[in-house]
Amino acid sequence: MKLLPLFLRKPIEAVYERRLAATLVGLPRPQHVGIMVDGNRRWARKAGHTDVREGYRAGGAKVTTFLGWCTAAGIEHVTLFMLSDDNLGRPAEELGPLIEVIEETVRDITAEGRDWEVRAIGSLDMLPGTSARVLKEATAATTGRGGLKVDVAVGYGGRREIVDAVKSAFEEHIAAGGDPAELVAQFGIDDISRHLYSPVADHTDFIIRTSGEQRLSGFLLWQSAYAEMHWVDCYWPAFRHVDFLRALRSYANRERRFGK
């Protein structure tokens, strides 16, 4: 069957979207959503762009739109996986434009008038040039805003975060005059949770990954112990509001037992 022309498809999709949104009223919603914004380069190539930076730009623009959807849906906390610590090994000519887009995106979502409290998390000291300073200064301006909490994971690795959390716990204990052996004896789950990059991120309810890939790639390893996963075939720049609503419907229909 041939696809409907655009002038017919858009109104039909709008009606379907409204009906789908109505079915979600009163159903369980995730409080903390992790989103893996994957597929920017593949989207650019599929769209006919010879410069993959067009994919990065389109993906960066979609971040602001997505956060608006989350705000409207009553989500409390979002973690955006924008650059892994493994990605830092990419060639400079590829990594540079990607980081530029990340900086632009962070400036946008932290701009005056936005009701979002934004943090940059990850190994920021590993970023090239002045990127760490740019991200820290932009996000510092959002402290205390309230509203949706947004963690932008840049140079982030889940295993590295756990290692850093353990180090931080021992450093804190020793700085307070404690005996390391004493901490070893009593060390527990809470000691790691309290020292993660984001203090409000000790658990994640729902993780969405675009582009059709079905793996975590080191994203929120500690926090995702009981997270529900949702895989989307489309590339991140093509992720639509209806895709988001379908993801929320999938979450609402799941029985979460937490091992019980």
Using one digit for the tens of pLDDT, what is the confidence trace for 143-189?
999 899 999 999 999 999 999 999 999 999 999 999 999 999 999 99
> For the chain, how many residues are written?
260
CA 239 to chain centre: 14
Predicted local confidence at residue 63, as pLDDT: 98
Q: Supply the pLDDT for residue 36.
A: 98
Q: Residue 201 pLDDT more than 60?
A: no
Segment 101-117 mean pLDDT: 96
The mean pLDDT value for 181-202 works out to: 89
Cα(233)–Cα(223) distance, integer angstroms: 24
In angstroms, what CA-CA distances link 232 with 57, 218, 245?
Answer: 20, 18, 12
Taking the C-alpha atoms of residue 97 and residue 84, their distance in angstroms, rounded to an integer, is 15
pLDDT value of position 1: 40
Distance set, CA 65 to CA 23, 25, 76, 97 (Å): 22, 21, 16, 21
pTM of the model: 0.93
- Please list the alpha-helical segments (H only) found in 85-200: 92-109, 131-140, 158-175, 180-186, 189-193
Q: Which residues are catalytic?
A: 38, 87
Helix ranges (H only) for the chain are 6-23, 40-46, 53-73, 92-109, 131-140, 158-175, 180-186, 189-193, 241-252
Cα separation, 131 vs 102, in Å, equals 9
Kindly state the average pLDDT of the residues 236-254: 97
pLDDT at residue 69, as a whole number = 98
End-to-end Cα, the chain, rounded Å: 47
Judge contact between 151 and 204, C-beta under 8 A: no
The mean pLDDT value of the chain amounts to: 93
Banded pLDDT at 7 (limits 50, 70, 90)? low
The predicted pLDDT at position 171 comes to 97
Instruction: Give the separation between CA 31 and CA 226, rounded to whole angstroms.
Output: 13
Residues 52, 10: Cα–Cα separation, whole Å:
28
